[in-house]
Amino acid sequence: MVGSSGIKGSVVVITGGSSGIGLATAEAFARRGARVVLAARQADALAEAARACEALGAEALAVPTDVTDEAAVEALAQAAIARFGRIDVWINNAALLLFGTLLDTPSAAWKRVVETNLYGYLHGARAVLPVFLAQRRGILINNVSGWGLVGAPLVSSYVSSKFAVLGLSECLRLELARFPDIHVCSVLPPSVDTPIYERAGNLTGHEVGPVLPVSSANEVAEILVGLAERPRPRRPIGVAGAFVYILSRLSPALSARFMSSVTCRFSIRAEHATPTLGNLFEPKDPHAKSGGFGWLGMRRGGKGTLY
């Protein structure tokens, strides 16, 4: 729980806060009177996100940050402390996505995804946990993804990083078990309608999109606010998220076959696309929560062609 006064007045740090789930979450906390600290690589989009939160009546601080830089993430935590005096909730959310076979993917691109999606979360935990220990309370929320539960072809860097983040969450929770008011939560959303697919690295030669069905960023944001109020170790989101979570526990082999099938059927589209590294090394962060895929993710029509 965030404290006796609830969400109002709490201090919430969100990485990847300029778009997608991060932006939706910042706005959701802002509507409830939280003070939000937003981090992302692109300063202009980040400033716009902060203004959107301020328009909702919240105090907001924008701190341009590349989460792969541990010193920068430490500076983010210190900026939050300097401005607001404490941190109640830290949400590790910044992520990169890369489609392509392992052999077609340059090592530098593969590593960049892991540096952001895993080491970025590690840097966040190392920056905020000393703050939580000093306060004797705090909530760390890691955005893991349903792909942190089961493998899929053509997204090995993303899936590997998310598996590792789930493991990191489990280990931290055990290390902090003697502190009853410090919580580590893993949120497990299914595909979410955000700009991540348009900005993704894509070496498949085909257009890419989300696996069906698709949740909205606002839906995920409400779950994250709920976790701040009532922390729990793991939180699948939506019917699809719950289905993958349960199936992965009951039958890992069946869940792997299922995810392989739906990834190739829906994520890899029939339309051809020029290979690109997307926003892996340079930010391309529009101030947008949605990627325009809608609840079924059918903006361009899934028709898998690979595997």
Q: Which sequence positions are flagged as catalytic?
A: 158
Contacting residues for 221 by C-beta, under 8 A, at least 6 apart: 21, 24, 25, 27, 28
Q: How far apart are CA 19 and CA 31, in angstroms?
A: 17
Burial 146-167 (b: 16+ CB within 10 A, else e): bbbbbbbbbbbbbbbbbbbbbe
Nearest to 138 by CA among 8, 9, 11, 5: 11
Write the CB contacts of 84 (distance below 8 Å, at least 6 apart in sequence): 11, 35, 37, 59, 61
Cβ–Cβ under 8 Å, residues 220 and 192: yes
Distances (CA, A) of 152 to 99, 168, 307: 11, 20, 11
- Are the C-beta atoms of 20 and 83 separated by less than 8 Å? no
